[in-house]
Chains A and B, each alone.
Chain A
Amino acid sequence: MARRWTNRLTENDITPEAAFLNRRQIMAGALGAAGASLMGLPQAAHAEALTPHPWEDITSYNNYYEFGTGKDDPAQNAHQLTTAPWSVTIDGLVERPGQYAFEDILAKMTIEERIYRFRCVEAWSMVVPWNGFELADLLNLAGVTSDAKYVAFETVLRPEEMPGTRTRVLDWPYVEGLRLDEAMHPLTIMATGIYGRDIPNQNGAPLRLVVPWKYGFKSIKSVVRITLTDKEPPTSWNKANAREYGFYSNVNPEVDHRRWSQASERVIGGGLFAKRQPTLMFNGYEDEVASLYKGMDLTRFF
């Protein structure tokens, strides 16, 4: 089912020299510093070059309600989270259930750079140069059984380290879910880094899901459990408000949030006078993922 993600570069994708040199420097720096992480070549997810947002933007403007509901709360509070040692429990309909230590997972995975658009359900967006591996590879490590249809994810819950969880903003722990074919799609990754550096706590350290064609809240952070099931798993925002947040939550400019339009978005970092940008179907990944939803009424399965 899952092919490796393949480049579909055109002449338009040739990276400007300055940006290219810049990226080599970043990679060289990261390789020199980390040594262990092996990075693939930059991939274009669409026939257009994406310019990643600065590190500062990506790591200072976050929704991670476990550390507070303000956009700057995660950057201020997330340092309290202990991310080592870390392990992920993979259970449910898998051949090799168990606790997988983070280092053991990393040792078996190929870390690649994936520059993806990131679109929040609140109608803002940024471009993030993630480092990570395909979720399919991790699921194959545990061996998905043939009766599995969905994947459920759970974020760590430690009230003593996560001040936001002391109030019941949501029904903690944060949980998310994907259909198995969405989870196995080559665009779906588990991110462990940004710009070649370890992913900061406020962005979901030590590893988080990234599903670039869905609203950001689907990309669950600091994952401690992955469960393969045959039933659609509950998801946090759907539990909190089912009329506003569906299980699928695919980026779709034609299906509005009940309280605001999703037709356009505000690109982070543009300042006070930046123009809104039109939102793209499936966040610009229509060619890659539209077939997953063939025949589905996307206004009903939003």
Chain B
Amino acid sequence: MADPVAPVSFTSLIETANLQLRRVPAWPAYPLAFGYVGWLVWLGATGGLGVEPVVALQRALGEAALYLLIAGLAVTPLRRHAGLNLLKFRRALGLSCFIFVVAHFLAWAVLDLQSLGRVWADIVKRPYITVGMAGFALLIPLALTSNNWSIRHLGARWRQLHRLTYAAALLGAVHYIMLVKGFQMRPLIFLAVILILLLLRLRPGRLAMRFQRG
């Protein structure tokens, strides 16, 4: 006879998860991110990304960055609405995302366009590149301040600064929408998920208070 199964409530499940997650270190995210970039490059060099690996590599790296932006944006809503605490992983998610964005940019600039002149011409002339570069530029100060020292020294301004993530995520999704041909669902789904995660952060109570005060 099997043991009777104890009823498991959602809350206790989340509590167990939170306890277990405390033992999971965040640092493996960095070797994993670099490893994934290296693996993609190796695939590209050995035919694993098809006969046109440069574009495939850019696409894979760009999507990886979007996935991690989404994961980072999900941390707060998950804590607030489900009680799941992933806060200790957020820096690793953000910095891994940045690793992919830098690799995505390098794949485009070095392997695809192959000249600074072309890179600059595209940044000023091509709106989808301008949008993508703007998103990249916003992530740079965030990556530079993703350390304990910056958090201590910037204080409240650190939180304000890191709200740039919202704009960067939107720019990333719009960049993707702008580069595809015809009506394609995939980039629209990325944008929809990002919009939902941003909407979940709005707290009606606070907004109402602000309006009353305003």
* CB contact between B111 and one of A167, A168, A237, A272 (< 8 Å): that residue: A272
Contact A268 B52 (CB under 8 A): yes
Interface size on B, residues (CB 8 A): 30
Contact B183 A259 (CB under 8 A): no
Chain A residues contacting B161 (CB-CB under 8 Å) are none
Chain A residues contacting B127 (CB-CB under 8 Å) are 259
Chain B residues contacting A261 (CB-CB under 8 Å) are 118, 121-122
Stretch at the interface among A10-18, A57-65, A130-138, A227-235: A57-65
Contact B112 A266 (CB under 8 A): yes
Interface: A169 (CB within 8 A): yes
Interface: A269 (CB within 8 A): yes
Contact A272 B182 (CB under 8 A): no
Chain B residues contacting A61 (CB-CB under 8 Å) are 50-52
Tell me the smallest distance from the CB of B122 to a CB of chain A, in Å.
7
Residue of chain B at shortest CB distance from A63: B181
Interface: A124 (CB within 8 A): yes
Tell me the smallest distance from the CB of B48 to a CB of chain A, in Å.
11
Interface: B200 (CB within 8 A): no
Contact B185 A167 (CB under 8 A): yes
The digit string for B191-207, where 1 denotes a CB below 8 A from any CB of A, is 00000000000000000
A sample of 17 inter-chain contacts (CB < 8 A) reads: A57-B51, A61-B51, A69-B181, A69-B182, A71-B56, A124-B52, A167-B185, A168-B183, A256-B125, A259-B179, A260-B122, A261-B121, A266-B52, A271-B53, A272-B41, A272-B53, A274-B54
> A-side interface residues toward B, CB under 8 Å?
56-57, 60-61, 65, 69, 71-72, 122, 124, 167-170, 237, 240, 256, 259-261, 266, 268-269, 271-276
> B-side interface residues toward A, CB under 8 Å?
41, 44-45, 50-57, 111-114, 118, 121-122, 125-128, 178-185
